[in-house]
Chains A and B, each alone.
Chain A
Amino acid sequence: MADNATLFQNIYNQYNVLVYNVALHYIQNVEDAEEITQDVFISVYQNLDKFNSDSSLKTWIYRITINKSLDFIKYKKSAKRFFIFGKKSENEYEIQNISTFEHPGIAIENKENAQILFQTLNELTENQKTAFILSKLDGLSNPEIAEIMNTSVSSIESLIFRAKTTLKEKLSNKFESYRKK
């Protein structure tokens, strides 16, 4: 029991920053990212004995974090749909909350541009968003991303390429409105 607790603490110390940052990139809200981090580590604690050592612990934790984050986004979207005829203020708060997200680790001079990027990132498909986040924000290599997403390296290359193309298109469309500001 004590060994389990020590092992869990070591895992937490090693991966808490990783989990928190991945969640933050997906959810774009500090409080919600902390909530996801809690959920991920509770899940790790509960399933540690079921962990399949075929994949690395890091890959396993990445997968749990991505799944929890995507589930959270789906839950938020369905809650939004549910409240669409209800409390209007809650919807507005959520939208504002996401659009004004400021990543705590981004340099001040890049904050405004990063905000636009995070907004546009939410318009990508789930897989494109995941591949882009892991590659561009987490700095993982394509084989590492392929292992996490359980697909081939060529698929990852294609996903990242499509993500960048879509982002460029969407940002070009936004250019006029931002120039007017």
Chain B
Amino acid sequence: MEKERFVNEILNSVENTTKAIPREALFQKIEHRIQERFVSGKTLWLVAASIVILITLNIFFLNENLHSNTPETAHLEYTIHNNNQLYR
């Protein structure tokens, strides 16, 4: 009898419970976390785009140099060779 009363009292102890209210600052915290995630995502894309642009530019200039380097070097070699003839 006493045991039954104990069990029932415990089971009924949460009846008429009022709702707990979260702190008012919680919404600001959520907004801040959302902004943080949004900004970090944006930054990540910016970094990725910068790397791609950098690699493309590097490849472009490397190609340019490879194609235009040969005649210039030949001319340079020739002039240097000529200039090096100090005694005739």
Check if A16 sits within 8 Å of B13, measured CB to CB. Answer: no
Known: A34-B22, A37-B26, A105-B20. A110 touches B14 (CB 8 A): yes
B67 at the interface (CB under 8 A from A): no
B13 touches which one: A17, A24, A117, A168 (CB < 8 A)?
A: A117
Known: A168-B11, A172-B3. A42 touches B33 (CB 8 A): yes
Which A88-119 residues have a C-beta within 8 angstroms of B?
Answer: 103-107, 110, 113-114, 116-117
Residues of A with C-beta under 8 A to B3:
172, 175
Check if B23 sits within 8 Å of A106, measured CB to CB. Answer: no
B14 touches which one: A16, A20, A37, A117 (CB < 8 A)?
A: A117
Check if B19 sits within 8 Å of A17, measured CB to CB. Answer: yes
Tally chain A residues at the interface, Cβ within 8 Å. 36
Q: List 24 A-B contacts (CB under 8 A).
A: A16-B27, A17-B20, A17-B21, A17-B22, A30-B20, A34-B22, A37-B22, A37-B26, A42-B37, A103-B17, A105-B19, A106-B17, A107-B16, A107-B17, A110-B13, A113-B13, A114-B17, A116-B10, A116-B13, A167-B11, A168-B11, A172-B7, A175-B7, A179-B2
Check if B6 sits within 8 Å of A175, measured CB to CB. Answer: yes
Inter-chain CA distance A6–B43, complex, in Å, is 25
Tell me the smallest distance from the CB of A74 to a CB of chain B, in Å.
Answer: 22
B33 touches which one: A12, A38, A175 (CB < 8 A)?
A: A38
B74 at the interface (CB under 8 A from A): no
Tally chain B residues at the interface, Cβ within 8 Å. 24
Work out how many contacts link A and B, with CB atoms closer than 8 A. 85
Closest chain B residue to A106, Cβ basis:
B17
B51 at the interface (CB under 8 A from A): no
Residues of B with C-beta under 8 A to A137:
14, 17
A45 at the interface (CB under 8 A from B): yes
A164 at the interface (CB under 8 A from B): yes
B29 at the interface (CB under 8 A from A): yes
Tell me the smallest distance from the CB of A9 to a CB of chain B, in Å.
Answer: 8
Which B11-46 residues have a C-beta within 8 angstroms of A?
Answer: 11, 13-14, 16-23, 26-27, 29-30, 33-34, 37
Tell me the smallest distance from the CB of B3 to a CB of chain A, in Å.
Answer: 5
